[in-house]
Amino acid sequence: MKFGKITPEIIQELKDAVGKDIVFDEKIHRMAYSRDWSPRDDSNTHLPDLVVRPRTTEQAAKIVEIANKHRIPVTPIGGLTGMGGGAVPIYGGIAFETKGMNKVIEIDVANMTATVQAGITLWDLNHEAKKHGLYLPQEPESKKVVTIGSSITCNNDSAFGIRHGRMIDHLTNAVIITGEGKIVRAGRRKAMCSNSGYQLNWLLVGSEGTLGIIVEATVKLIPVQKTRMVDMIVFPSLTDSMNAIRDIMHSGLALESAHINCKKRLSFYTHSYRKKHGKEPDIPEWAEALLGISFASMEETDKVVKFSRDYALKICAKHKGLPVKEVEITDGWWASKYTVIFTPFKQKWPDSQREKKFGAVDCGIPIGRIEEAYDAFLKTADKYNQQILGMCVYHERPNRLSPSISFAVFVDDKDPENVQGFYKYVREMSETAIKLEGTSATYIGDSEFKTPWIGELEHQEAYDYMFNIKKVFDPNGIMNPGKKFPIKMFGYDE
């Protein structure tokens, strides 16, 4: 069995149903949706046969209903910042552009929630919320272009995960279009807790558009943080930095962010200092880990923040931590993680992308086995001829050590052999993560490249149950096919 093909008759059927102004079949439109940020060589592009850009839930439902009738693949598209091919229409069909649905439906100040269409960017959502003194603390590096819908379905990391968590900690309600074109509301409206039924809104988190297209979401907000202090501290080992985070949290302080970088990644943040001063910063030779932390408060005064920061530095000192004095290094790290303000040719990120592509494998590793994982990273990257950028350990669940790790490399996407070596590196590091009693994916997801082996490697006995859930939402397997489940499981030919 094969997927259905877009024909002139189907294009006309769509235009008659939803309007010709939101249906595009010109190649110049389709080209923009042929790849995301995942490393792939120039020949590995996938043009959709059609692009749709609905503005309403009803239009979205009608498009999917028609696609399902003809078994046309539908790939939801957000900001295309994904690093694993999750938004690439690898079987053609319809590229479903969600950014046409970008309205704020309601900012509920009393209940501290926002209800929005799912195509709005995190940046634009917060622009509106901040007019009311509120904001959504889901702050990935891609926040200027990533949508609320893709943040939910990709479960991306945030700068402030250790304090506020991920989308699963903010999402209270969602409206989705299933693979049959049905409109389904999942969640608990504006309540933060529920024990009624299954928590289907949580099932959508990390689903990568394989269950349906999110068209509306309600998320909790917090007060705008008016004061903030950011520091970087170097440690003799990764374990020392991890123990410092542990003790800061359990001392009663409320860390806003905590990211650990390995020594190799340190040069990523010292680039601007070298450019400005023409010399290396004063970093001790013994430094093997670089910890970035922040504290913030809704108060106008910095009294609480300053106390928290000073106390945290004392705890770091007990673990042999030494604060970094050069402000350019701290500013460089904070720019990469939060402000996203870069001076051209002064900051290694994003200027490094002119030469090679940023690539990473995203593993979750138990806290006591970080050093083992780091050693494996160095050996595995070298084995597959990958240029090491470095390791960054995010913490993404509220008030707990919860490593979500980027084992990052530079990939030469002009060299097909180097790209293939990258995906062999991804596979082996994923196997290592599972051997270390962790998980193969934390923020990039299964996406296109892990799908062929994710069942046998990661989930095994549970994989068939996951597939049965997929079939309930998407019985014909048209929603983002080739992601999480190979299409042969639905009887389609490759």
pLDDT at 380: 98
Query: In this model, does residue 344 exceed pLDDT 60?
Result: no
* φ, ψ (nearest 5 deg) of residue 160: -110, 30
33-40: average pLDDT? 90
- Strand ranges (E), 119-220: 134-135, 171-178, 183-187, 212-220
Query: In this model, does residue 331 exceed pLDDT 90?
Result: no
pLDDT at 282: 82
pLDDT at 322: 97
The mean-pLDDT minimum among 33-47, 90-104, 343-357 falls in: 343-357
Q: What percent of the chain has pLDDT over 90?
A: 83
Query: In this model, does residue 312 exceed pLDDT 80?
Result: yes
pLDDT class of 386 with cuts at 50, 70, 90: very high
Tens-place pLDDT, residues 218-265: 999 999 999 999 999 999 999 999 999 999 999 999 999 999 999 988
91-113: average pLDDT? 97
CA distance 412 to 75: 27
Name the segment(s) of the chain with CATH classification 3.40.462.10: 355-445
CATH number of 355-445: 3.40.462.10
CA distance 388 to 453: 25
Residue partners of 358: CB distance under 8 A and separation at least 6: 37, 83, 349, 352, 389, 408, 410, 411
CATH number of 227-339: 3.30.70.3450
Tens-place pLDDT, residues 150-167: 999 999 999 999 999 999
CA distance 59 to 69: 16
Query: In this model, does residue 137 exceed pLDDT 70?
Result: yes
* Beta carbons within 10 angstroms of residue 21's beta carbon: 9
Query: In this model, does residue 329 exceed pLDDT 90?
Result: no
Query: In this model, does residue 98 exceed pLDDT 90?
Result: yes
Q: In what order do the strands lie in the sheet with 104-108?
A: 104-108, 113-117, 212-220, 171-178, 183-187
pLDDT at 354: 67
CA distance 322 to 226: 27
- The residue among 265 and 352 whose pLDDT is bigger is 265
pLDDT class of 350 with cuts at 50, 70, 90: low
CATH number of 8-99: 3.30.43.10
CATH topology of domain 101-223: 3.30.465
Q: Chain-wide mean pLDDT for the chain?
A: 93
Tens-place pLDDT, residues 168-216: 999 999 999 999 999 999 999 999 889 999 999 999 999 999 999 999 9
Query: In this model, does residue 351 exceed pLDDT 70?
Result: no
431, 423 contact by CB (below 8 A): no
CA distance 323 to 293: 11
Query: In this model, does residue 349 exceed pLDDT 60?
Result: no
CA dihedral 443, 448, 452, 458 (to 10 degrees): 10
Local structure of 78: helix, strand or coil:
coil
42-63: average pLDDT? 95
Tens-place pLDDT, residues 267-281: 777 776 777 778 888
pLDDT at 3: 97
Q: What percent of the chain has pLDDT over 70?
A: 97
CA distance 174 to 215: 8
390-413: average pLDDT? 94
Name the segment(s) of the chain with CATH classification 3.30.43.10: 8-99
331-335: average pLDDT? 83
CA distance 10 to 66: 8
Name the segment(s) of the chain with CATH classification 3.30.70.3450: 227-339
Tens-place pLDDT, residues 291-311: 999 999 999 999 999 999 999
- The residue among 203 and 45 whose pLDDT is bigger is 203
Query: In this model, does residue 52 exceed pLDDT 70?
Result: yes
319-345: average pLDDT? 82
pLDDT at 345: 54
Tens-place pLDDT, residues 420-455: 999 999 999 999 999 999 999 999 999 999 999 999
pLDDT at 342: 65
102, 117 contact by CB (below 8 A): yes
Helices 370-383 and 238-250 pack at an angle, to 10 degrees, of: 140
Name the segment(s) of the chain with CATH classification 3.30.465.10: 101-223
